[in-house]
Amino acid sequence: MLYEIGVYNKRVRDTIRGGDDWNNNFGISDAFEEVNYFEFQAASIEEVERRVERDFPSALGYVLDYIRSIKTET
């Protein structure tokens, strides 16, 4: 099944919205102030959540804003 996710980074968001510059700390783009959208092919929502945590670790400030399944033509 195909899923779309939305991810932002709380550290980036808080820094920029607090009036400070984000200088790509930890290799995280300032684009993550806003929600970024990605598609994942996975068997379940739980698998998507595991992959998101691996690719966008919450320990680095990433927040999974939403997950939605995308209906595909068969």
59 vs 71, higher pLDDT = 59
Measured distance CA(63)–CA(49) in Å, rounded? 11
What would the pLDDT profile of 13-32 be if each residue is shown by its tens digit? 999 999 999 987 689 999 99
* Separation between Cα atoms, residue 9 and residue 65, nearest integer Å: 10
From CA 38, how far away is CA 70, in angstroms rounded? 12
Is pLDDT above 70 for 34?
yes
**What DSSP element (H or E) covers 15?**
helix 10-17
Neighbours of 41 (CB within 10 A): 12
Domains of the chain: 2-70 (3.30.70)
pTM beyond cutoff 0.95: no
Q: Are the CB atoms for 61 and 2 separated by under 8 Å?
A: no
Q: What confidence tens digit (pLDDT) does each residue in 41-68 have?
A: 999 999 999 999 999 999 999 999 999 9
